Amino acid sequence: MEAVALRSPGSASPETRLPSRSEPAGRAGPPPAGGLVRRWLRLNRGQIRAVAIGLVSLALFVAAWQVLTANRVSFYVRFVNVPTPEDVLQRALLALKNPMFADHVLMSCRRILFGFLLAAGVAVPLGLLMGRFRLLREVAFPICEVLRPIPAIAWVPMAIMLWPTNEGSIVFITFLGSFFPILINTLQGMAAVDPVLVRAARCLGAREGALFREVYLPASLPQIFTGLTVGMGVAWVSLIAAEMISGQFGIGYFTWEAYSLVQYADIALGMITIGVLGLVSSFAIRLLGRLAMPWSAAR
């Protein structure tokens, strides 16, 4: 005889048994691609708006440039000899095919890299030490304040006498241009350090090295990166001035040579290249600041 399993009227077979509340009903599938896109747009709405406004403003600027130069407007400000955006674009396409233009750009980038890194490597530690030790600040700060107002272009004759090569003098002028903004902002960052944090660290047994590493440097980083950003802009100004006066290569020399040869489109191309290079370098510093200060990006 076959055994027949007895079941109560209210019981269900294994095939028809409903899952209990403690058992998961099943894993949900991945969200649709449209939902991910909408979520990304919602989270980055402010940045997308800023980029869109920036692109519109640039487009309006180029349109105004085209109207003024195409019609040769001459009302107090003369646009008779100013090239149109189309002329500059044609010269840019030709310059991109010319290896000499790339050599000018690479030479300027190399000078900026050497001068700026040297300035940051000297100004940041010096600013931290001057902000920490009063005697050092009293000795070094008056010298810095006397030298700081001197324009970088005024250092060109002295730099030529100090350094045996034009390359060394140009890097030195670039160094001076970025040194003082970095130093002053580092001093401001040290002055803004909360003394309560310093006392708390000392109570916990922190020594001088730990204070610099755990308190002074993290608290001063926002001001330091502000100084680095400002210093990068001043470094480009100083570099272009030095290249125009004593350089033989570089984007500043390219721009000045275009003026000497009455090549107006190349003048505008050099100016735009300088602006793009400065924008990229400043963006790189801000990106490094976000990586070095994740707590500020999270706010």
226 and 144 together in one domain: yes
- Residue 88 in 3-state DSSP? helix
What pLDDT, in 10s, does the model give residues 248-298?
A: 789 999 999 998 888 899 999 999 999 999 999 999 999 999 888 887 654
Please check whether residues 73 and 102 belong to one and the same domain: no
264 and 128 within one domain: yes
Higher pLDDT, 3 or 242: 242
Query: Do both 175 and 45 map to the same domain?
Result: no
Look up tokens 């990304």; give the residue.
Answer: 40
What are 296's two structure tokens?
Answer: 């500020």
- pLDDT tens figures, 18-53: 555 554 555 555 556 567 777 777 777 878 888 889
Q: 169 with 137, same domain? A: yes
pLDDT at 3: 45
Q: Is residue 262 domain-shared with residue 163, that is, in the same domain?
A: yes
Q: What average pLDDT does range 126-138 have in this prediction?
A: 92
Sign of the CA dihedral with 84 first, then 90, 96, and 98 last: negative
8 A C-beta contact, residue 276 and residue 291: no
248/124 same-domain check: yes
Question: Is residue 22 assigned to a domain?
Answer: no
173 and 72 in a single domain? The answer is: no
| Same domain? 279 vs 224 | yes
**71 domain-assigned:** yes
- The rounded percent of the chain whose pLDDT value lies above 70 is 87
Helices (H), 18-152: 33-43, 45-70, 85-96, 99-132, 134-147
Q: Is 15 helix (H, G, I), strand (E, B) or coil?
A: coil
Look up the domain containing 77 and give its range.
Answer: 41-82
Domain assignment present for 177: yes
Q: Is the pLDDT of residue 5 over 60?
A: no
Tell me the per-residue pLDDT of 160-206, one tens digit each, with 9 for 90 and over: 888 888 888 999 999 999 999 999 999 999 998 888 888 888 888 87
Beta-carbon neighbour count of residue 208 at 10 Å? 10
Evaluate whether residue 202 is within a structural domain.
yes
Given a cut of 70, whether residue 9 has pLDDT beyond it is no
Give the per-residue pLDDT at 234: 93
Residue at a domain's end among 30, 55, 82: 82
| 181 and 74 fall within a common domain | no
**Rounded to whole angstroms, how far apart are CA atoms 69 and 203?**
68
The total of structural domains in the chain comes to 2
- Report how far residue 150's alpha carbon sits from residue 156's, in angstroms, rounded to the nearest whole number: 11
Within a domain: 63:
yes
Place of tokens 């707590």: 295
Residues 74 and 184 grouped into a single domain: no
Query: Could you tell me if residue 33 is inside a domain?
Result: no
Domain-embedded: residue 194 = yes
| Averaged confidence pLDDT in the chain | 84
Q: Are residues 217 and 191 in the same domain?
A: yes
